[in-house]
Amino acid sequence: MPRTLILECNNKVGETVTVSGWVHVRRDHGKIGFLDVYDRTGTIQVFCTGDKLGDIRPQDVVEISGIVAQRPEKLINPNIPTGKIELQAETVKGISKAHELPFDMGGKDLDLQLPTLLDFRSLTLRHPKVKSIFKVQAALMEGFRKAATELDCVEIFVPTIAASSTEGGAEVFKVDYYGHKAFMTQSPQLYKQMLIPVYERVFTIAHAYRAEPSVTTRHLSESIQLDCEFGFVDFNELLDLLEEVAVKMLKHVEEKCEEIFKEFNLEKIHFGEIPRFTLREAQEIIFKEFGRDNRKEKDLTPQDEIDICKYALEKFDSDFVTITKFPAIAKPFYTMPDPENPEYSLSYDLLFRGVEVLSGSQRVSDYEQLVEAIKSRGLDTKSFEMYLQAFKYGMPPEGGFSFGLERLTMHILNLANVRQASLFPRDMERVDVRLSTLK
Amino acid sequence: MPRTLILECNNKVGETVTVSGWVHVRRDHGKIGFLDVYDRTGTIQVFCTGDKLGDIRPQDVVEISGIVAQRPEKLINPNIPTGKIELQAETVKGISKAHELPFDMGGKDLDLQLPTLLDFRSLTLRHPKVKSIFKVQAALMEGFRKAATELDCVEIFVPTIAASSTEGGAEVFKVDYYGHKAFMTQSPQLYKQMLIPVYERVFTIAHAYRAEPSVTTRHLSESIQLDCEFGFVDFNELLDLLEEVAVKMLKHVEEKCEEIFKEFNLEKIHFGEIPRFTLREAQEIIFKEFGRDNRKEKDLTPQDEIDICKYALEKFDSDFVTITKFPAIAKPFYTMPDPENPEYSLSYDLLFRGVEVLSGSQRVSDYEQLVEAIKSRGLDTKSFEMYLQAFKYGMPPEGGFSFGLERLTMHILNLANVRQASLFPRDMERVDVRLSTLK
């Protein structure tokens, strides 16, 4: 009999069907038993009598034939799309036998310490709530592409192996490239800028590599960035653009992942008009409203980020805040200094619910000025030959921004650690398995 | 005055507008002159009198104010969407001055040798015909995602740094990973398989790294792969699925890039029913129809691929051919042997116009069989710990395939070298600049 997808069973009450999937849980009640079986479309309750269940256990792949029946009124589960039906099994066939699980996967939450969650990653990803995380991530990506495409951005594919470190700094991974020393790119930054004279507006989804020798809840050694870059724009247009993309992305996710938002007990996102503060204005607010004087710091502290978001939510009904004009010295060489006060820069971060999820800037677009900026950071212009070439032959005012995909996923879902928002996180202790276990 | 996009000028005849963009060509005729100026929406002819053009030259970024006028009937250019209008310049303002170009960029084709094309990549990408290549690439990607999404595949993001080489073999790039030896992945293969028990159907866009010490027209050291993987499928369903995705992708591109297909003088793609031959059947056809006896070879030769495609086009009106059942020994360990004849495998390639653009297979999905397959290739199961974990806990019959993005782009557009289909190609001689020029 051909396979029926589980969600389709809703339309097959009274019919005999065959479903295939994984056993999520097994519940025995004397001579009868139940399975929850999932496939890509959903989960169905399977009712069994006699010894049909045999040694079936969680994660077994099974093929079950039986009759789709309405559940009695009082057994209806309103929380799942197949909550009104069950499958009354006639035959239960094992397709692939799972080894005994190292921990229980049947609970609503998967209460495991992070190392265990990652040591058994191929298994723990199957838990419904973990699965949901990466459905949100896929929806974020879809929303991003939709927003960028609507803004006329062309998708580009840029390399990750480069001859020099992208933005200076020591925290880069070295690659042995046919006997030459090469580096994994810290971002697609330079390449997306080089494409401005080609397409004027571009977007790219890129891997970013940071060899930071630290283990925090916020950093990954390999992560995914969502980048846009726009030509013929000024600073205020850039702020409009980044906010438009962010809002469209998040609205897309909220709409597409409504069920998951419920599963995670998430509050609706507040889409009030996004307030824009310069760093100094934000620090002034922190000082006045929260009593901490950080007015000379180069950046917001983590607590400042939380508090300024709290302020924005109260006063503007917005879960976002845009912070602008960070000190020039704190930003990379390609960041445009503020013409009104070159100590500061035409840079910005977008905060979402207490955390930075995007950063970007107006760029230095003048060739001579860019050469000077590179030199003034002690970098070698020879390392930026192809990049500088793009500016040598006509570059308009331009700028852009970049979202961190894992970090954004993490904060939408209120996860404790960014590693939970990466399918196979890389950090200084782990590449799938713990590095300490490798020769 | 606010900027008017060039394509919008079609609706502004008689009005005064300001357009911004890059000068593509300048033509002087005594006291009058013309510019072709492009922005992200198109190209417009600008008519100038007097000395308004000054020292304006190709690739300068300009802002031009003037009146949009109808062109006289005989000067209409039917080949471009703005061919009926021109802009009569009142002011021409230089925004960014280009250095003198090292070669002429004004011709319909950019006749440069490959090394020059790549030495000046930031510049040569601006040539209209080069630009078109990557518009086709973006459309291919869009078509792929659309097709994969329609088949219920969830998009996943997998890492590129791994603790061991993906598929065995020596041609991998080594990374210094916090003092440990790690590798750049040769493909997303193992990860996409690990996600089958999570989402049943997945797709991913991934970077693939091959340290092949050879310089051919077909190989890149870093390339983009478009991958799908499906659970609960058999061999014939896989063939249906790959052909469905391929056809949808190519139809999407042909529709979306109609103008570019004209620009490149491309024939319409032939979408007749795709013939399927086993390798041995294909070799038999080659022997009978083309007189070459390669019936004992492990793969088709390049000339065989060309000829079998010629045959498919004549007999089936199809630009595609699916070749199946390659010798097991020629395929990676995860390839399912043919149960009817284990010397062969449940593998397949898709050929398009004489070249392989996709490959894939039914996979070994049984844990014990997979362990044996790894060992029999002399590989260490310890290196596949996380991968094997996915099979230990319930894995259905599954399989998938992978397109090479650059190679497919190359063959759609009839390019001579795959490097032309990569924005910034990596090979053993170049990482943007030639490696020989680096210290």
Cβ atoms within 10 Å, residue B385: 16
CB < 8 Å to B96, chain A: 365-366, 394-396
Strands B201-209, B154-155: pairing kind? parallel
pLDDT tens digits, residue range B42-64?
A: 999 999 987 888 899 999 999 99
Q: Let me know: does A105 contact A24? Beta carbons within 8 Å.
A: yes
How far A152 CA lies from chain B's nearest CA (Å)?
8
Which chain A residue lies closest to B201 (C-alpha atoms)?
A40
Helix (H, G, I), strand (E, B) or coil at B345: strand
ipTM entry? 0.96
A393·B98 Cβ contact <8 A: yes
Contact list in A for residue B156 (CB cut-off 8 A) is 134, 138, 423
Q: What is the pLDDT of residue B436?
A: 84
Give the integer Cα–Cα distance in Å for B65 and B86: 12
pLDDT tens for each residue of chain A, 439 residues long: 899 999 999 999 999 999 999 999 999 998 999 999 999 999 999 999 878 888 999 999 999 999 999 999 999 999 899 999 999 999 999 999 999 999 999 999 999 999 999 999 999 999 999 999 999 999 999 999 999 999 999 999 999 999 887 666 668 999 999 999 999 999 999 999 999 999 999 999 999 999 988 788 888 999 999 999 999 999 999 999 999 999 999 999 999 999 999 999 999 999 999 999 999 999 999 999 999 999 999 999 999 999 999 999 999 999 999 999 999 999 999 999 999 999 999 999 999 999 999 999 999 999 999 999 999 999 999 989 999 999 999 999 999 999 999 999 999 999 999 999 999 999 999 999 998 887 5
Write the CATH number of the domain with boundaries A6-96: 2.40.50.140
- Rounded to the nearest angstrom, the minimum Cα separation between B307 and chain A is 32
B139 HSE (CA, 13 A, CB side): 22
pLDDT tens string A231-255: 999 999 999 999 999 999 999 999 9
- The pLDDT tens digits of the residues spanning B309-349 come to 999 999 999 999 999 999 999 999 999 999 999 999 999 99
Residues of chain A in contact with residue B177, where contact means CB-CB under 8 angstroms, are 173, 221, 431, 435
Distance of CA B269 to the CA centre of its chain: 16
The CATH topology of domain B122-437 is BirA Bifunctional Protein; domain 2 (3.30.930)
- A152/B195 Cβ within 8 A: no
Asked if B128 and B110 count as a contact pair (C-beta separation under 8 A), the reply is no
Give the full edge-to-edge strand order of the sheet including B161-162: A161-162, A180-184, A174-177, B174-177, B180-184, B161-162
Mutate to test the interface with B, among A117, A135, A177 (most CBs of B within 10 A): A177
Q: The pTM is what?
A: 0.96
Contact A161 B201 (CB under 8 A): no
Q: Which of B122, B150, B212, B429 to mutate to test the interface with A (most CBs of A within 10 A)?
A: B122
Cβ <8 Å between B159 and A198 = no
Q: Is A94 helix (H, G, I), strand (E, B) or coil?
A: strand
> Hey, is A61 helix, strand or coil?
strand
Distance from CA of B67 to the nearest CA of A (A): 21
Q: Which residues of A touch B123 (CB under 8 A)?
A: 389-390, 393
Collect all residues of chain B within an 8 Å Cβ-Cβ radius of residue A59: 197, 393-394
Contact A156 B138 (CB under 8 A): yes
Specify the length of chain A in residues: 439
- Candidates B96, B155, B178; nearest CB to A395: B96
Question: In B62-96, which positions are buried (b, 16+ CB within 10 angstroms) versus exposed (e)?
Answer: bbbbbbbeeeeeeeeeeeeebbbbbbebeebebbb
Q: Where are the domains of chain A?
A: 6-96, 122-437
